[in-house]
Structure 1
């Protein structure tokens, strides 16, 4: 009760101080983590804006700037060289290169932070549209001028011819005004998306149009076409370049600001980390100093106290502290008192007083362990005495068991010494005796000590007879403290008395019982005596087994000699019998062969036929009639040629019969004819049968109808041939590409490689987008394939020498067992020849329309004249 009262008065001073310092440090760390997370998130957003928005936008703008210069060059070359391929190159640059970059810039525009940049991009797009219109207008004006010059030459030539014929002055000697012809040609306005032609000529590549040399003086400053180009088209182009340059400068400024913000955020996070570490260090230092100031004095005293306890000494009592250490001081005093009690107990045990008591020690684990230790020491001492007694006894009787020269003397000495060693009054040894007949095996009394001789005369014990017989059968020790009446009495000079305990132990070795040992005593046998007698019984059993093995070895050697002689005589008789049976087997083999073949055929429900030596039917079963349509009356007695097919070779029939008549067994697939003339096939087994004299008697045919199988095989072969031909035609005339679900090429046929002029090894594992010109929406394609659609469309595929092919592709998805897309097959047809022919026809139609237009104008002018 006092200890509990003192315990409740100890204040928690150190705990409160440590709690305050830990709480302050935790709040500081949470604030630092929160602020660092905000700075890190801001930094990542700025970095992502630079990498995903500003950098791509700059690349797109630079590409647009370069392409604008190339369109100007293509426009100027179209005028200077009067070559339509430069016009087609101009259209290709606007439609397939500039337009994708403009679309990408419009997509990135949604992510720009600056509204001015978006406005400026719209200015760039408007300026590009104006530039395209100016370039197209310039090219069309050049076409009109060219047409006007051609028409003027035609008119002058026509007027000259008229003047020569009429010999009259011409009204058209003065040159025609260019404005009148220009006004007669309707002007057309194109937009950025609607002015380009639908197809691109595949006869040139990027950059190849500008390699032709210029004519002398075509690009001089005095060229009026170039001056007109610089006055109308160049200012618009310069405006586009200036606006693009302004956008690039804005992007550079934004990237500098973003990098500065990222660097500033990183510096702030670094400074914040150092500040938090310093503050945490100060807080931990103050908390530790507070704890140290309170704990140092008490800990020094407790350290000395528990140090003495660690050295197993009993220290002086420690003063009680009025804080958390007070409980430790009280517990230390209690430990000191318990140590004194344990020391006193150890001294008593060391002096041999194992019955000493632990007075005053609380009932805990240590007290319980010490009591168990004391009890264990008592038991160990007793076990050591018992073990020593058993070991000495086993050594004594082991010496007796070695005297096997006189077995009976050894048995007698063993009983005499055993009775005296274990303190028994009577002992008997029963040993297993086996006769030639195993059923007469019994236990015979071999040696005894102090038993009534009248009761033991000719003593033999059978299995299960009495306690000894029961111990033999069960193989377990029997220990009785209540001996049955009239079982045994111990006689002495003053009379006889019934024993109080009886111990019957089996003599076992290697799992078998070789005898029984019976002991009787006036006193109960203790655990020590029973264990000793059982171990001794095991040694006696091993000795009996050795004696038995020696006797059996001698007897087996004699029996082996007799059996060897008997086996030699039996072997001679057996060989004579084998020779006689072999002859009978050969005879039965010929007699049973015919019947066994017939039974097997009937059992399998096959077609069965029999022919005589001349080849005529002598037997057919119902299955034969069912398959061929012949009745037995129609076929029996007829020649085997009756059901031969019309295209059969007589020589083959004769060869088959000659082989059978020679005794050769045949198994073949035969084609035969039914009654209606239709063929059928069967797998036949032909057995030639001879009589006892070895003469050819008849032929047994057992067959199976395989018509359906043969016809199915023929149809399958024809289908495989057709499929192989179709596959070869497909491989030689169609594009075939196999990709994974991410559209990386896994396989490509040779026709595709030849068509595009690529190597198969280079195409493998590449993305199919590398073979297709223009942009392809693979996300939409994947969505449609997942809906089990068959997607078909026309695309341009890149070919060698910077050419391209028009291809109609069909995409089909192949799924795995989990119904997931695993492969995608692209099957295509080359449409380049048709497309080129279509383009040529459009050009010819356009030229023909121009000629018709010119002729109509000429006719109208001639009518005016």
Structure 2
């Protein structure tokens, strides 16, 4: 499909160049016809026929832009121009050569069929007009003799055959060259396509090689069978991928065992911590999802069982007290057989991996015995949403051998240390409790002293505030609002100034003191929003009494906030300037 599009575009360019040549010829022929009008005053023919020719050609090209019909019309039009010139020059033989010029121009289309309209027109034109002129000469018809087809008395049949034959031969020669030109163009196009394909393959190979150089051996490459370099690169990718995979597995094994050794060395003093750190490392290192470590409890030689010591995202019920005997379930079976169990078909009721968004069955379960020289120390059970490669299972086997050695040593040390720590812990707890009791007593005494001091300060501030408020109440107009502007309290001075009593204003909004026009303004709406946000307002304010009279107040609106900064009420202190 892409090649067809490129082919269409390539040959369309050839047609466009041929169009320009043909259109220049048509324009020249039109001007040449006007030039010939000077000799025989054939202006009407020059303008009329010439203009019709151009209109026919360009009209078809405009009406059918996706068709090649205009090219065939152009071939016909150059024949019509030839007939026009012959007529204008009263049958001058030299005018026949304009048809040969047109045939040369039409070769640019590289299309044999393009010559058919002009050749047919010339043959038909010569046949009809030669016959008419012949009848006019032989039968003495004057009007037939003046059709200006040839300057001879008439054209005999032999001369006609020579004319028509030469035109046909010229058209065949031109057509043959057109066919060869088309073949050459096609070969050139194929060469271009091949070159582009080679260039595209080269670019793909460069990009592919760059990906390989960047250690990206998983990149997909669409190999062309005819591209030896691409084949070599693909083979190189496979070899490098194999080497990289082998190196990756060896690195995974060695690095994992090295890190595990560090964890065992740093946590061998505590069995529980060692198992949890070990399990967490293995799950994260192998990118698993869930797991647990069961260790052998042989305190009672008559009742040996496996108990869950460490877990990671474990979802079993009663997991804290989970005990499994030999041969019981898959874990017990692994303990009994001392071999790895690897499952890829997990029953729905066996285990679920849960998260905050949901839960799902794992895709794989692997159960590995923790043993050293046939001595079982425990079992590790792991679950994952993805399959495990063989080299990862090999890593688990070697890791469990290291864990078995550490487990055996740590269990003995841990039991001894547990007894020692228990005695130390009890003694430390007693010392800690005594210290806490002493510290609590000191804090209680300090708290009581601080409370007494603050109570005195509060009583003093309360007395001062009451004295100040009493003075203000007697001198100024005072009113209290909610943060939204609803009236809570108002003193006598304010009520007298505004002509209200307390019962008539209490619970109503501040807007009863402003004009209806000002109430609707954005300024007034923002006024209470800003106060509600803790912003004080002061200045001269115009308010209206109960009787609608203007009262000018010099006032300040003060927001009163609680300890958290939330405004609880608004106090307005005002003096009357004008009433």
TM-score over 0.5 for the alignment?
A: no
Higher radius of gyration, 1 or 2: 1
